[in-house]
Amino acid sequence: MRTIEWDDGVVRMIDQRQLPQEYVIVQFTDYREVARAIKEMYIRGAPAIGAAAAFGLALCARGSVAKTRAEVLADLEEAAATLHKTRPTAVNLSWALERMLEQARKAQHTQVEQIVHALVAEAQRIADEDVEVNQRMAANGAELIEDGYNVLTHCNTGALATVDYGTALGVIRTAHEQGKRLHVWVDETRPRLQGARLTAWELMRYDIPMTLIADNAAGHLMRTGQVDLVLVGADRVAANGDVANKIGTYKLAVLARENGIPFYSVCPTSTIDLSLPSGEQITIEERDSTEVTHIGEVGIAPEGVPVFNPAFDVTPHRYVTGIVTEEGIIYPPFAPGLRRAKGATS
């Protein structure tokens, strides 16, 4: 199945917290449950979160007891506010919610039933478009991978981070399907280990050669000439090309620059936020301390230790070689190219 899908009033998704030990499908019928699933990372990855938020609003509309258009719109605004609070860094979440609300507000939808039908259809369009966008993006990015390349990636950017196929990992997958010989270095990605748990699982399913490494081994591999290309995803890209992504990305970008290795972010144009002049304005989510002090249920730090646990960091655009989108690869200066890419999809 897809990472997330709609099934006659039920939202079904893979519970990614259980991977790789178990492949578990969970079902939700209330938007509050979807909000909890996003917050607790049953589902993660900017494009997947956007689709989940859209399906959450569809559930709200379908379950509303409102009798009038005004009442159902009020219910949807309340649900959107709840969903928006779950993960503040990923712009796809707010993008999908606003797209759904715009659909609900259209003047031709005068009856509650019309709004419900329109939102279910719009959420499904968002999900279907994500798959098509990922495949276009992957085809563009695959041109960067030459035969025999060693590619380093961070976090999880595959089908599990999207509705299906993937962003940075989708590029790798396409290059592999084209017959290119390649090998992937997989950062474990502390503290939630999305690389170790999810990326390794996906690559092994695709039979793509890979090796799992501790995050702090990446610099050694770069210095010793064992990395040809770094590919990462993005949760938000500012108007100047600054990239917010999983914590640890900035460190990789600096190391890549120091060692003369190309560093690319791969993301759909829905992840580009032209309203923010730079990455300085991006809200960085901070998560619970237990993600750092524990691995699963096992404590690895002294009880009561102070913890700082940012989920993301911002990579200044000067460290970014290019940004791969479904509209093509954007190179510096980023601002004009990002505007053109967004314009092509508006």
- Looking up tokens 């989920």 gives 311
Quick one: how far is CA 63 from the chain centroid? 28
* Distant-in-sequence, close-in-space partners of 276: CB < 8 Å, separation ≥ 6: 236, 238, 239, 282
* The one catalytic residue among 235, 242, 273, 313: 235
- Looking up tokens 């719009």 gives 122
Q: State the Cα torsion 142-174-160-93 to the nearest 10°.
A: 40
- Is 215 labeled as catalytic in the residue annotation? no
Cβ-based burial of 79 (10 A; exposed 0-12, middle 13-18, buried ≥19): buried
- Looking up tokens 């991006």 gives 282
Cα separation, 285 vs 306, in Å, equals: 17
Is the bond preceding 333 in cis, omega lying within 30 degrees of 0? yes
What values do phi and psi take at 5, rounded to 5?
A: -155, 160
Cα separation, 99 vs 127, in Å, equals: 13
- What the block records as the tokens of 275 is 């309203």
Amino acid type, 7:
D
CB 316 within 8 A of CB 242: yes
Closest CA to 239 of 136, 330, 135, 329: 330
Catalytic residues: 235
